[in-house]
Amino acid sequence: MGDGLPPMLVEMLGSGIEVLAWDDSPQSEALNRAVAFITYGHPRVDGPLMDRAPHLKIVSNHGVGVDHIDCDAARDRGIAVGNTPGCLDASTADMTLALMLAAARNVVIGDKFARSAQFTHYDPSTLIGFEVTGSTLGIVGLGRIGREVARRARAFDMRIVYHNRRRDEAAERELGVTYRSLPELLAESDFVTLNCPLTPETTNLIGAKEFALMKPTGILINVARGPVVNHDALLAALKSRRIAAAALDVTAPEPLPRDHPLLELDNLVITPHLGSASNRTRRRMMEMTVENLRAALNDAPLPWRVV
């Protein structure tokens, strides 16, 4: 079963696999027949749903984050869960830097102004942004993606601090980064990027108390998951200019309601979850999704297994 699978992914599955439309209705014949789920676009897969698919062998996730899948429930039922780690690290790190630059240098608001009737002459005092080169970057979550962000930030001569659950001395030696507690990181950083997974510990990790620690010129970038940031606190911090700006690739909920007040702010850059949306990355994600699925159907070890 798949949720609106793109033609390329269906083609990769091949003619030997029948693709059933995602259907979790009470009388779903598709659930009764399904031996595999492909989660494409983060549909919620919990224990009760798994119980309604008596032949289910695998949930093959198109992506790394599996917070929408109840992995404990899958483990209890002997259902494998696979994901696609590693292949999207570079593209997501690219997106992190793109959002940082867009927010710092007024790319979005500048584009709108350049297209408007108000732009009639060049004024050097218009839309003065924040320098990225030589600034301090704080990375929250120095995993695979966070490390790639650090590598790119070094090209901008940035001073890099990071926060993890555990200090990573190998990364410090390799990348020249410095460990900080979260409060220390927030206070020191000109830019804060969130590159951590969504867990109970990281839900609402950044709220009013954390925004109060940031510099008034600070910029927050979230390419992790929407619930890592408390959106009410973010709205208050941006409206009051407690922080200078933010850039979000993810929100909670996703998408935001069309009348959400965050969408009215000129110091917010927002994109529709594009972190891994590059041609080569998305193709590799599909390939890995299919490889996990085929392995489970052949009773072979998953190449990329979560549980």
Residues marked as catalytic = 225, 254, 273
| Chain centre to alpha carbon of residue 61 | 14
DSSP string, the chain: -BSS--HHHHHHH-TTS---B---STT-HHHHH-SEEEE-S---B-HHHHHT-TT--EEEESSS--TTB-HHHHHHTT-EEE---STTHHHHHHHHHHHHHHHHTTHHHHHHHHHSTT--S--TTSS-----TT-EEEEE--SHHHHHHHHHHHTTT-EEEEE-SS--HHHHHHH--EE--HHHHHHH-SEEEE-PPP-TTTTT-B-HHHHHHS-TT-EEEE-S-GGGB-HHHHHHHHHTTSSSEEEES--SSSSPPTT-GGGG-TTEEE-SS-TT-SHHHHHHHHHHHHHHHHHHHTT---SSB--
> Residue length, the chain?
307
| Chain centre to alpha carbon of residue 187 | 24
Alpha-carbon gap, residue 191 to 247, rounded angstroms: 10
Nearest alpha carbon to residue 268 among 286, 244, 252, 292? 244
